[in-house]
Amino acid sequence: MIYREAGQFKTSYPADRAIFPIVQDRYFVAAIALAAFVAVPLLASEYWLVTIMLPFLVLSLAAIGLNILTGYAGLLSLGTGGFMACGAFAAYKLSTAFPELHIIGVFALSGVITAGVGVVFGIPSLRIKGFYLAVATLASQFFLVWLFNKLPWFTNYSPSGVISAPPRALFGDVFVTGSSATPEAKYLFALTAVCVLALLAKNMVRGNIGRKWMAIRDMDIAAEIIGIPMLRTKLLAFAISSFYIGVAGAMWAFIYTSSVEALAFGIERSFQVLFIIIIGGLGSILGSFLGAAFIVLLPILLSNAPQLIGLQIPVDMVTHLEFMIFGALIILFLIVEPHGLARLWSIAKEKLRLWPFPH
Amino acid sequence: MAERRFGEVILAVQDISLSFGGVKALTSVSFEIREHEIRAIIGPNGAGKSSMLNVINGFYHPQEGSITYKGVTRSRMHPHHAASHGIARTFQNIALFRGMSTLDNIMTGRVHKMKANVLMQALYWPARREEVENREFVEHIIDFLEIQAIRKTPVGRLPYGMQKRVELGRALAAEPDLLLLDEPMAGMNLEEKEDMCRFVLDVTEEFGTTIALIEHDMGVVMDISDRVVVLDYGEKLADGVPAEVREDQAVVDAYLGVAHD
């Protein structure tokens, strides 16, 4: 009833392939955008902005990147952490070597560099797939983190191996990195970047290249016979996916944490992003956001839940319980809805077309 | 049915031999396909029919022989080259992209017609015109195959007969000059077979497409094909119009067996 497309006729093909073809969807998205761009910076506390919204945005971006590779092109990767590290260290080297380079240029170039690294590690994908490819990308994960840890050149010979983001302004004195940047400025900058990149990703996956990727994912032999060039299309998936993950890594180091070491991009990070896309929904841009929200918010909810219901539990006990409940929830979730939150969302939309009437 | 005019030879295979290790799949097979004809390839199981199609579109590389396509002679085809020069095919076991909608599957058949690069697609507007033009063409195919109602349905959810039809649509989307159909009617009931026959005949009449098809239903083969080539154990047994082939003693022996005294 409230979510009915009755009377909304599409008279052109562009209208039919719009991202949000239904009017209710467009209102909903406008409301979300308004809340994200206006209400959140005005109302949210610094704690919310820095410890919840920023990691949510950065992880969403990384998840979009991995979703392009794994969810759309069907190439399983466990190298996300390594590619994030690549983006972070590329951004650090670029911004310290060329101080006059604009921060947007720094992020874009570090994405491009990561794309190049991703293409190199993606070459084996022509020959191997599935678990074997996952193991090959696992090698890139360990190699890249080891490289940034061992070669002091990457950290500008910092004895601790930690890189700190230099202060950079978007324009004038609106700093988005470094100690003088306000949480609101960081948040709005990250939000804008993530929204723009997500829109570009959505355009790709609903276009010709997205169909090529899904064709390779669903039936690679038929895709080859149709004439889709295997190597080029797979490497393009690696390049674009790595670009997104590289920018996410740079934003992690520069905007979210401000100072970071290579070990922060360990195998746990790869698994975290993989969980995000599995929980959110493989092959869905929306799912990348939903999954990231789930992964970021659930631990916070779990650690605050005992106080909310008036239980006094020791802190270490809470931490242990958090791990157990979190793991159990993920398993339960995958059994109940293997296609992720994005699928739940589309089921809900389907139900809302009729609700509250039975037919 | 009105008599169709056959054109020049579009594809000729000469002395094709293909073996996998010690197994000889094809032994010195030659035949040619003329423009606008429906050419059936028949034979008992394991005769090498599917291998022949795979050789034609470059998926298998024969050890001996040559393939002449549109006047150019090669020792073997490449899938990419075959696809970009107008050879499209369907598969014996449906090879659709199961996670994608009917529309997206058929759109994927048009990869060769779409030139916009990734950046243009990411920005949406530069690639919009191309996308809409190709969508219009695909909608013609959807109308032609009468599958409007399942346009947005993921093909994994469609019944078997519909999937076969969508696969034909995907092949047609490439605007092929030569269409290879590997058992398009396998596993269908009578009604579905009649539909599919109608589509195959309409394709040649409306688009002038040349068709090479493998089929086991002899009624269908004798009714719709213009010429038939018969394979058995990788060798060519007979070649000619359906009436001739039906009378051929070697063909009858291959299908029914020979009495041993």
Q: What is the pLDDT of residues A339-357, one digit of tens each?
A: 888 888 888 888 887 777 7
C-alpha to C-alpha distance for B199 and B220, rounded to whole angstroms = 13
Interchain proximity B96–A13, CB inside 8 Å: no
> Which residues numbered 282-341 in A keep a CB inside 8 Å of some CB on B?
283
Quote the pLDDT of residue B3.
54
B106 in A contact zone (CB under 8 Å):
no
Q: Which of A204, A222, A229 lies nearest to residue B80, judging by beta carbons?
A: A229
Which secondary-structure segment (H or E) carries A170?
strand A169-171
Q: Reduce the DSSP state of residue B226 to 3 states and report it.
A: coil
Mean pLDDT throughout A71-82?
94
Tell me the two tokens of residue A309: 């219901």
Residues recorded for chain A: 359
Per-residue pLDDT reduced to its tens digit, B152-188: 999 999 999 999 999 999 999 999 999 999 999 988 9
Q: Is B54 helix (H, G, I), strand (E, B) or coil?
A: helix
Contact status of A204 with chain B (Cβ, < 8 Å)? yes
The CATH T-level fold of domain A29-352 is: ABC transporter involved in vitamin B12 uptake, BtuC (1.10.3470)
Q: How far apart are CA B242 and CA B201, in angstroms?
A: 16
**Distance (Å) from the alpha carbon of A229 to chain B's nearest alpha carbon:** 7
d(CA B139, CA B67): 34
Strand-pair partners of B240: B228
Domain definitions of chain A by residue range: 29-352
Annotate B185-214 with b (16+ C-beta within 10 A) or e (fewer): bbebeeebbebbbebbbebbeebebbbbbb
Q: Mind telling me how many Å the CA of A226 is from chain B's nearest CA? A: 6
Residue of chain A whose Cα is closest to the Cα of B137: A13
Q: How many interchain CB pairs under 8 A, A with B?
A: 96
| A72 vs A323: which has the higher pLDDT | A72
Residue by residue, pLDDT tens for chain B (261 residues) are 445 668 889 999 999 999 998 899 999 999 999 999 999 999 988 899 999 999 999 999 999 999 999 999 999 888 888 999 999 999 988 999 999 999 999 999 999 889 889 999 999 989 999 999 999 999 999 999 999 999 999 999 999 999 999 999 999 999 999 999 999 998 899 999 999 999 999 999 988 999 999 998 888 999 999 999 999 999 999 999 999 998 888 888 888 777 776
Q: Would you say B242 and B222 are in contact if contact means Cβ atoms under 8 Å apart? A: yes
The two three-digit tokens of residue A251, written as one number: 């934003």
- Cα A9 to Cα A16, A296, B138: the distances in Å are 9, 39, 20
Where do the domains of chain B lie?
Answer: 1-86+176-261, 99-174
Nearest to A215 among B108, B114, B128 (CB): B108
Nearest chain B Cα distance for residue A203, angstroms: 5
ipTM for the complex shown: 0.91
Q: Is B168 on the interface with A (CB under 8 A)?
A: no
Percent of chain A with pLDDT over 70: 99
- Residue partners of B2: CB distance under 8 A and separation at least 6: none
Q: Which residues of B touch A219 (CB under 8 A)?
A: 95-98
A203 interaction partners in chain B (CB closer than 8 Å):
121-124
Instruction: Enumerate the residues of chain A whose CB falls inside 8 A of the CB of residue B91.
Output: 222
Block residue for tokens 């035949």: B31
Q: Parallel, antiparallel, or unpaired for β B87-89 and B38-42? A: unpaired
Give yes or no for residue A3 having a pLDDT over 80.
no
Interface contact B104, partner A, CB < 8 A: yes
Residue B76 confidence (pLDDT): 87
Read off the tokens for B87. 């050879």
CA-nearest residue of chain A to B84? A227
B227 touches chain A (CB under 8 A): no
Q: Which residue has the higher pLDDT, B138 or A325?
A: B138
Which DSSP string do the residues of A135-180 spell out, in sequence order? HHHHHHHHHHHHHHHH-GGGGTT-TT-EEEPPP-EEETTEE-SSTT
Length of chain B in residues, anyone?
261
Percent of chain A with pLDDT over 90: 63
Search chain A and give the residue with CA nearest B180: A225
The rounded distance, in Å, linking the Cα atoms of A45 and A40 is 9
Candidates B97, B105, B168, partner chain A, best to mutate (most A CBs within 10 A) = B97
pLDDT tens digits along A21-52: 888 888 989 999 999 999 999 998 988 899 99
Query: Which of A218, A242, A285 to mutate to test binding with chain B, by most B CBs within 10 Å of its CB?
Result: A218
The domain covering B1-86+176-261 belongs, at the CATH homologous superfamily level, to P-loop containing nucleotide triphosphate hydrolases (3.40.50.300)
Chain A interface disruption, residue of B92, B93, B104, B124, most A CBs within 10 A: B124
Q: Say what the pLDDT of residue B2 is.
A: 47
Helix (H, G, I), strand (E, B) or coil at B62: coil
Q: How far apart are CA A340 and CA A278, in angstroms?
A: 6
- Using an 8 Å Cβ cutoff, are B227 and B236 in contact? no
Contacts of A243 in chain B (CB under 8 A): none
Are the Cβ atoms of A214 and B97 closer than 8 angstroms? yes
| pLDDT for A19 beyond 50 | yes
Pairwise CB contact (< 8 Å): A225 & B89: yes
Question: What is the rounded distance in angstroms from the CA atom of residue A186 to the CA atom of residue A194?
Answer: 12
Phi-psi region of A339 (alpha: psi -120 to 50; beta: other; left: phi over 0): alpha
Residue of chain B minimizing CA distance to A229: B80
